Structure formats: structure tokens, C-alpha cells
Amino acid sequence: MPNIDQILMELEADIVGGATQVARQRELVADLSLRGQSAAFAAEILAELETIQARHIFLRDKLRAELTRRAWTGQDNLPERQGV
């Protein structure tokens, strides 16, 4: 079972990759619109990507807050932090 630090690292990587995907999808929507083609489906995909990105950011921030809380309450040596 992954520990909190591993999950946090994975979320950070997902956020970086997600930012790239969102940027590419925005470019695609803009390009289709400029060419007068329908961008509706590409815009739907963009909205989904943005939702996923927001969820990843929310989870990352929640985990960071939990780690901070544990550090302040002296609970940062719990088993999941030690990889158990």
C-alpha cells in the first residue's frame, strides 16, 4: 500500500502532466475555432481535463494539509509515513 508521501509525489506528477494536457487541449480548441470548425467535442474534453486537474490539485492540497497537521501534532511518524 502506498504511503502518503508516495501518493503526494504521484499527484504532483499528475498535476504537471495534466497542466500540459490542458494547455494542449486549449490550443486545439482555439485552433479549431480559428479554422471555423466545430470545437464542441474538443471543448467538452477540455472541461473534463480541467475537472480532473482541479480534483488532483484539491487532493494534493488536502494531503499537504494533513501532513502539516500531523507534523504540528507530533504524529508525523505514523506507519503510513514510514512505508509500512
Give the C-alpha separation, 19 to 64, whole Å. Answer: 19
pLDDT tens for 20-62 read 999 999 999 999 999 999 999 999 999 999 999 999 999 999 9
Residue 21 lies in a domain: yes
8 close to 67: Cβ distance less than 8 angstroms: yes
Residue 83 lies in a domain: no
What's the helix, strand, coil split of the chain in %, to 5?
80, 0, 20
Residue 49 lies in a domain: yes
Residue 78 lies in a domain: no
Q: What is the pTM of this model?
A: 0.78
CA 80 to chain centroid = 21
Residue 19 lies in a domain: yes
